[in-house]
């Protein structure tokens, strides 16, 4: 009889079948008009407090949004929703709409599920769900929320020369006849949707028997995606059947296909410096030189997300051939640390060739590329110390890749005079990259597990997934092409770098779709690290008069004069506003919002300082970025109260540069506690070297209710203002700052 029970459970499990997971139903409850009007009133008060009688700040409304939201229509999001990975269940497109309206109180957002995992049926349902979200938002001329349709084109190369990175594609319109009939993916056959192994299909539903259906639904999802046939090659995208899987091998091909559709769209690079997906040594100069940049569509750059900041350039030593660079005072290469780990093991075991083994380990690591960590058997997160991490960056991306940074992009010039794509002229935005349909999730710093992408595997799963090799005193050579993508990514180490997400703020002439889109296209936008900081940045004496952030200015002869003004975000009250309680049941409030919402008090946090960054555009493609990027160039200390901060300045050096100069401003807010802001939480010696660390683990070693909080200076980054003299660049004198 005892034997019959296990057999019965197995039989029950095998008898279950997966069901198609739909988009859910959008909550039709209205947002009270007075709640939306309160936003405007609070901004008006802040703007008035920072203005002067003779020189008022521009009166456009600042709207907050998130242009990077995934639901469980994305394969990785569905996988992370499974109980075996600590997931809390499905969050389909309807959840994303409801969260944006009721929990985070956004003004606009976009859906960006990974195109490789969106079946034809899921795409049709995505379009319908976005249309439904717009319908419940009220009067289209003054909606409580504008929802944009899009997807993510997710390309990953194993080496810098094969890598282009991730891009979100967003469309202005949502009508069925005004958007493509299918999303366009990057060719990632290994990442379309992985089927669960047979043993997992049997075991996991039994281990989580009450939630067993989600495993069968995932299996159905994976099978449905795998059954979609590839689109035929050489056929214009508008002539392809609706039910095939379309890919674009590189950005240029993606842009061509979008041109064939002819619909108004934006393409936003993101994750460009995130070392979990970006190979070390990648540089945005390469795709620019190859003509893989579309200046008409690529007008925005995601500088901040739940994966951290992609802002700063750092002149770190780079790998050259098989040679691992030596560490510097501010950077420890992981290839060098690999040699140190092997040398330490060798010395502990009494070896007499430890230095030779260390040298061998460094070469093996370099040759393995992004699979380098696998060359050291039995290694733990703590063994790596803070190698490949930025020690002096604000909330850096894991293994930050400087060549993919915003500052590197803004400095670059392509040696192609007259080419419309000769430079990157990006506006700067933040977004979340949430995979739980929780756009704008940075309004309160809580619930690390639910509000970030941090894995939370049970102990048995960690043992199953971890490196179970013996920690021997010799490295092992690894061939990159033989290592699956999933095994190149050091998720456990990266768990300490998952943060709540950022926001994009738009200086908009209205709340309607067209006004917001126009602000995005004109780059009259800025990024925040999640707080709703107010920021203005204007050039006051352009040839045409005052112009806002994001502007390109030609023929500027006199020293440019700028104005920056900022006001801190509101301190938050606990819980949710009354209208949210009226719209959602207690159970829905907990499952959707985690019982916390954007709920501002009347008190603003203090802006402590404003920093200005100046970047001179390259005169030629070989000019070193370290000579061009000045960060910070100017610093203005602020009163430190909740009244905000404003100052004006000019650049007397500008006329002698004879080239395009790029300026942007950062507003820094007083320190507050934030999830994972401490990164690896290093203990440092007197020289600043990391000698011990306390990572925020992605398994049971860090409890689910530990939010790994640390002090954090939340901030906002303006879009740049691009200022050019009348003198042609080719005629410009070669000059440098003193």
How far are the Cα atoms of 149, 246, 646, 688 from residue 396, in angstroms, in the given order? Answer: 29, 34, 27, 17
Structure tokens at 599: 């709920």
Q: What is the pLDDT of residue 734?
A: 45
Contacts of 285 (CB under 8 A, 6+ apart): 403, 408, 412, 621
10 Å CB burial of residue 269 (0-12, 13-18, 19+) is: buried
Q: Which of 535, 524, 556 is nearest to 661 (CA)?
A: 556
CATH for 1-229+252-314+390-454+498-532 is 3.20.20.140
Whole-angstrom Cα distance, residue 318 to residue 313?
Answer: 13
Any idea which residue has 């490789």 for tokens?
Answer: 116
Phi/psi of residue 41, each to 5°? -65, -40
Structure tokens at 101: 């309206």
Structure tokens at 228: 């979609």
How far are the Cα atoms of 216, 304, 524, 611 from residue 666, in angstroms, in the given order? Answer: 48, 13, 15, 5
Q: What is the pLDDT of residue 8?
A: 43
Phi/psi of residue 503, each to 5°? -135, 155
Phi/psi of residue 115, each to 5°? -65, -30
- Domain extent listing, the chain: 1-229+252-314+390-454+498-532, 334-389+455-497+675-712
Q: What is the pLDDT of residue 420?
A: 54
What pairing do the DSSP bridges indicate for beta strands 61-69 and 108-111?
A: parallel
How far are the Cα atoms of 83, 199, 211, 710 from residue 458, in angstroms, in the given order? Answer: 9, 18, 16, 25
Helix (H) or strand (E) holding 430: strand 427-430
Whole-angstrom Cα distance, residue 364 to residue 322?
Answer: 8
Any idea which residue has 């028997």 for tokens?
Answer: 209
What pairing do the DSSP bridges indicate for beta strands 308-309 and 300-305?
A: antiparallel
Q: Judge contact between 214 and 81, C-beta under 8 A.
A: yes
Structure tokens at 512: 């309607």
Structure tokens at 578: 């009354």
- Helices within 185-307 (DSSP H only): 198-207, 212-226, 251-261, 285-289
Cis bond before residue 632 (omega within 30° of 0): yes
Q: Which of 92, 79, 71 is nearest to 204 (CA)?
A: 79
Whole-angstrom Cα distance, residue 424 to residue 289?
Answer: 11
Per DSSP, what are the bridge partners of residue 522?
none
Whole-angstrom Cα distance, residue 189 to residue 607?
Answer: 47
Q: What is the dihedral of CA 335, 340, 346, 350, to 10 degrees?
A: 160
Contacts of 47 (CB under 8 A, 6+ apart): 56, 57, 59, 534
What pairing do the DSSP bridges indicate for beta strands 166-171 and 146-154?
A: antiparallel
Q: What is the pLDDT of residue 57?
A: 87
C-alpha angle 665-630-404 in degrees, rounded to nearest 5: 85
Whole-angstrom Cα distance, residue 184 to residue 195?
Answer: 22
Whole-angstrom Cα distance, residue 265 to residue 171?
Answer: 4
Q: Which residues of the chain have pLDDT under 70?
A: 1-16, 53-54, 189-192, 194-195, 199, 416-421, 457-466, 727-738
């Amino acid at each position: 009889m005892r034997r019959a029970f296990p057999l019965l459970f197995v039989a029950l499990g095998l008898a279950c079948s997966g069901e198609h997971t739909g988009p859910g139903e959008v909550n039709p409850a209205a947002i009270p008009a007075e709640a939306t009007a309160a936003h405007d009133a609070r901004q008006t008060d802040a703007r008035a407090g920072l203005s002067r009688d003779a020189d008022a700040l521009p009166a456009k409304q600042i709207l907050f949004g998130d242009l990077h939201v995934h639901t469980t229509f994305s394969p990785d999001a569905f996988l992370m929703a499974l109980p075996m990975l600590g997931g809390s269940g499905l969050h389909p497109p309807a959840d994303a709409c409801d969260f944006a309206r009721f929990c985070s109180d956004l003004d606009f957002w976009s859906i960006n599920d990974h195109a490789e995992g969106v079946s034809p049926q899921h795409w049709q349902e995505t379009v319908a769900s976005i249309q439904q979200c717009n319908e419940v938002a009220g009067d289209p001329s003054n909606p409580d929320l504008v929802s944009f349709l899009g997807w993510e084109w997710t390309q990953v190369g194993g080496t810098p020369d094969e890598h282009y990175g991730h891009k979100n594609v967003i469309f202005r319109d949502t009508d069925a006849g005004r958007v493509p009939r299918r999303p366009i993916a990057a060719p990632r056959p290994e990442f379309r949707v992985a089927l669960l192994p047979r043993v997992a299909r049997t075991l996991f539903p039994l281990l989580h028997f009450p939630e067993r259906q989600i495993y069968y639904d995932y299996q159905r999802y994976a099978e449905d995606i795998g059954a979609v046939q590839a689109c035929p090659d050489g056929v214009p995208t508008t002539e392809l059947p609706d039910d095939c899987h379309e890919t674009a091998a590189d950005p240029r091909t993606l842009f061509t296909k979008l041109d064939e559709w002819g619909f108004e769209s934006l393409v936003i690079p993101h994750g460009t410096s995130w070392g979990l997906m970006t190979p070390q040594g990648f540089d945005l100069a390469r795709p620019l030189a190859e003509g893989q940049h579309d200046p008409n569509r690529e007008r925005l750059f995601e500088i901040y997300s739940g994966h951290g900041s992609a802002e700063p350039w750092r002149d770190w030593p780079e790998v050259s051939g098989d040679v691992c660079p030596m560490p510097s005072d501010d950077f420890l290469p992981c290839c060098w640390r690999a040699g140190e780990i092997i040398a330490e093991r060798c010395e502990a075991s009494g070896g007499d060739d430890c230095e030779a083994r260390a040298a061998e380990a460094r070469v093996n690591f370099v040759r393995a590329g992004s699979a380098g960590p696998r060359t050291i058997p039995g290694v733990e997160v703590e063994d790596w110390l803070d190698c490949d991490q930025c020690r002096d960056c604000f909330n850096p991306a894991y293994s930050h890749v400087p060549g993919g940074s915003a500052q590197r992009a803004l400095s670059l010039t392509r040696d192609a005079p007259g080419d419309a794509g000769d430079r990157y002229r990006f506006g700067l935005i933040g977004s979340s990259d949430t995979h739980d349909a929780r756009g704008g999730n940075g309004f309160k710093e809580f619930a690390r597990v639910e509000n970030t992408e941090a894995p939370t595997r049970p102990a048995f799963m960690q043992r199953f997934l971890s490196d179970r090799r013996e920690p021997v005193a010799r490295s092992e050579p690894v061939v990159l092409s033989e290592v699956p993508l999933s095994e190149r990514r050091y998720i456990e180490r990266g768990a300490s770098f998952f943060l709540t997400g950022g926001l994009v703020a738009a200086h908009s002439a209205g709340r309607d779709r067209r006004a917001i889109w126009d602000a995005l296209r004109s780059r009259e936008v800025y990024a925040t690290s999640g707080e709703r900081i107010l920021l203005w940045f204007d050039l006051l004496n352009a040839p045409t008069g005052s112009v806002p952030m994001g502007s390109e200015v030609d023929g500027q002869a006199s020293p440019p004069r700028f104005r920056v003004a900022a006001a801190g975000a509101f301190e938050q009250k606990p819980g949710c506003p009354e209208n949210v309680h009226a719209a959602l049941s207690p159970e829905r409030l907990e499952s959707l919002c985690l019982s916390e919402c954007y709920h501002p008090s009347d008190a603003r946090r203090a802006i402590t300082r404003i920093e200005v960054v100046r970047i001179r555009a390259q005169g030629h493609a070989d000019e070193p970025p370290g000579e061009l990027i000045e960060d910070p160039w100017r610093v203005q200390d602020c009163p430190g109260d909740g009244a905000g901060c404003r100052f004006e300045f000019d650049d007397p050096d500008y006329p002698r540069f004879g080239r395009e100069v790029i300026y942007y401003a950062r507003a820094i807010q007083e320190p507050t506690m934030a999830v994972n802001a401490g990164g690896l939480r290093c203990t440092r010696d007197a020289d600043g070297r990391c000698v011990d660390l306390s990572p925020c683990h992605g398994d049971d070693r860090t409890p689910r209710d530990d939010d790994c909080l640390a002090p954090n200076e939340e901030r906002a980054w303006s879009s740049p203002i691009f200022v050019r003299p009348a003198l042609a660049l080719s005629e410009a004198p070669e000059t440098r700052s003193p």
